[in-house]
Structure 1
């Protein structure tokens, strides 16, 4: 089944999708939108277009594992997303994904405006790949 990952941001939100076999996560797009109601509609539309069966939302825990204000905002948005799409939404720990994404983009020499254009989708891909790997390991 296809799974859509969401890396929620204040201005830019990254999306990534898995293949049907749940083996590989790939970036889809970045939605540039500050209005959370409009963002919710756009993500819901993407979920329908891509034919996903579930969503994974980055959950930005603090380094000590606690949930701060940002994590609470993501949890609230995840509930709205669940209602809007009618699909299950899993919150997934996204600690350090931006650091990892930055490392990947450095390795591939993506800099400047190009980096800004792909950073959030790359982070969403990392969140989703981590989730897919976890699911695969749990099934063994």
Structure 2
């Protein structure tokens, strides 16, 4: 069962997909948000092409665990995905996923320009991988 991981940002959406066994996450692409219609159409294509059966959407929480305005936007987007794609959408705590992605890219000595291009995809990969790891331990 393949699972799609999403890092939903103001301007970009990082996309990752699991392998068929649900063991590992691989970064797929970054979708630039121009309109919700185009985003949903692209996600629908990805879901079909990769035979995705579920979606994990990063839920940005405050450090104290509460959900702020950004989290509310993600919750709303999760509902839009459920209705549009007809798939289960799991909200997953994404605190520090982008920070972790940035740190990994810095340690790999990736240039600032390239980091900007891949950080969202890498954050989606981290979100999805932590979800997969959690599921495998259950």
Cα RMSD after superposing both structures: 0.9
C-alpha distance in 1 between matches for 2:11 and 2:121 = 13
Aligned to 2:7: 7
Q: Distance in 2 between matches of 1:113 and 1:50?
A: 29
Aligned counterpart, 1:46: 46
- C-alpha offsets along residues 10-54 of structure 1, whole Å, 9 cap, x if unaligned? 111100000011111000000112322321221122111111110
Unaligned runs of 5+ in 1: none
- State yes or no: 1:135 paired with 2:125: no
In the superposition, the TM-score normalised over structure 2's length comes to 0.96
Give me the whole-angstrom Cα distance separating, in 2, the residues matched to 1:120 and 1:56. Answer: 15
Q: Which residue is 2:102 aligned to?
A: 102
TM-score norm. by structure 1 comes to 0.95
Partners of 1:14 and 1:119 in 2: CA distance: 8
1:102 and 1:45 map into 2 onto residues whose CA distance is 28
SS of the equivalent of 1:53 reads: strand
Structure 1 CA distance, aligned partners of 2:134 and 2:111? 31
Gaps of at least 5 residues in structure 2 are: none
Distance in 2 (CA, whole Å) between partners of 1:48 and 1:63 is: 35
Instruction: Tell me how far 1:83 sits from its aligned partner.
Output: 1.1
- After the TM superposition, list the runs of 4 or more consecutive aligned residues in structure 1 that deviate by more than 2 angstroms: none
Matches of 2:10 and 2:40, distance apart in 1: 13
Aligned pairs for 1:1-140 (under 5 A) are 1-138=1-138
Q: How many residues align?
A: 138
